Structure 1
Amino acid sequence: MSVLLAGGGTAGHVAPLLATADCLRRRHPDARFLALGTIAGLESRLLPERGYSFVEVPRVPLPRKPSADLYRLPQRLRKAVTAARHAIEQIDADVVVGFGGYVSVPGYVAARRLRVPIVVHEQNSLPGIANRLGARWARSTAVTFPGTSLRGAVHTGMPLRSEITDLALLPDRAARRREARAELGLDPDRPTLLVTGGSLGAQRLNDVLGSCAGELLAAGVQVLHASGRGKEVALAPDVDRTRYVVRPYLDAIDTAYAAADLVVGRSGAGTVSELTALGLPGVYVPLPIGNGEQRRNAESVVAAGGGVLVDDAALDAAFVRSRVLPLLTDPAALAAASAAAAAFGVHDGAERLADLVEAAAASRS
């Protein structure tokens, strides 16, 4: 089997691409893989690190409004499609798998012209322009969240990295929770809140949760707070730093998840998918910019009882006091929210998507 992968620019595209490629490589050790990407994207570093060949295609942003970029689009797209076509021919691809983003569009166009089957995976509840186009031509279209409006959509969930799926399938999560807390220098027996804004952090979360540190600790809980590189959490001088632990970045996020009872964070598709796969309740604070996809990502699991949704502007000390603390300190409420999150979650998204890729590749032969 020969697979061309297209999707880059952000972790939201690259992470599921890598998880799917790893799954296919486990199933087919002799398969050939080639990925499209841009030098400026994360894929230029992450793909070679994982052993996947990478071909650069020109970056082709799709303008949402009339602009000079719109007039330059045809020439840019022609160059990018030519590069994608050469990549398909280079490995004689049986299937093109796209994850959205700038590099997917030339991959989809080239595949359609060469009559190579296309499989699309959409991460967000609100599809992007690239995947709305790709879904029109795709043999299979996979979506992370049920109800995503794409032609012929099949719910597969998000392809997740093996560290997350291994934790999700662990038979004794309670024992792992105690171990993880000890590894992180935390009390194995205290309720634990994880706060994370992702690798870049979220200053709003840092400011609000940091201001509540005294109340959180007084309620008997402990906090592991990933501030983001270059960002700080301002704590009062009397706050016990052994119970409110601030780190700029968590290298092993699976260990942090294993230690946590509740997570406060943004609601990117990857975060929502990871938390629900692990049965972790979330306090979701959607990024207040963009087209509203982060709110949409979290709405269904919150409606099912697997978390709480709060606007960025509404997150304050009063909210932490009235909504976060009561949930974190009520074992029965936490257990119910955890069960609801787990019922919504999917831990085998990579396997489900790999099934669709294999079927599409077989259809060409």
Structure 2
Amino acid sequence: MKKTLALLSFLFVVFVLAGCGANEQKEEQKESQKAPSGDLAPLEEEATVVIAEDGAASGAGFYIAEEKGYFDDYNIDIKFTTFANSDDMLPALAAGEVDIAGGVSTASFFNAIAQGIDVKIIADKGHYYDGNSYFSFVIREDLQGEIKDYADLKGKRIAVSSKNAVDDYIYHRMLDHAGLTEDDVELVLMSDFGNMLAAMGNKSIDAALQIEPLITQGESEGLHVRFGDATDYAPDAQIAMVLGSPSFVEKETDVSLRFMAAYLKGVRDYNDAFLHDDGLDEVIDIMTKHTALKDPEIWKKVGVTGLDPNGEMFVDDIKKQFEMYDANGAISGDIDFNDAVDTSMTEKVLEIIGRYEK
């Protein structure tokens, strides 16, 4: 009888423990369903986020997050839209017709903000990787023996795509580094980067501030060679920024917080791929789908856009760019950068998903 009671007691304990284990497993499954991302739970109702993006390589964080389901994890539906120019895009962003956009530093961009177009600069969307910049100077292939240092650009014809824009800013940083002035060189404004290749071919220019993949293309065709690297004189240059609609950033906080978490996860995969060769083929497949560069092999050769995996920007450099345009007389009005730059959302996300430390 005692043996029977002991056996029944043992079976009862086993049953209870099994039941507890099953309950714990069910709770874990429920939690997993609540937060498939492993951090924030998905939105109760699907939210649509409209991104103004034209297939630029600097939009990699958006593309990767979309293709790898990071936005889906938060119940966010992404819609991409394009604008002919930023003059149309910025008012739409300020009005909340667009939630997120990519922007580059230009006098007209700052003028729009100074004149009351309210947009927020919220995260990095383009900077330089040390020694392999995607936007840097090249010189004609036949001038390698003559131009060995930046100071040797004195008297040369240098093509730059625009005035009072980030291109102009990088150009002047290079001149300062070389100990040259505007009068020491001949600036050739050439808005189309593709035309710079032709100008190299017919020897009508000696150097150019060129962009990938045309840097790599020109090298393969024997038209030019990469000259130094932009990190020699502008290591902290902020080339492009993620812009947010004020209503999206400040009012739709549940959505914007999750959006930024997904975006940074996409950017981290990008860094893993191009800096650490982790998942490179998958990321290149995504980039060939969303950008104009369709050759996977060229993706392995080009200098890629720098994207900060923690979303951090060189805010002081953004201010320096504004100051240069202002000194040139290209700015009408002033900007409160404490209001225009809003990194609060990115900072909150880092508290949740942690910092990227690779």
Asked if TM exceeds 0.5, the reply is no
Q: Flag the structure with larger Rg.
A: 2
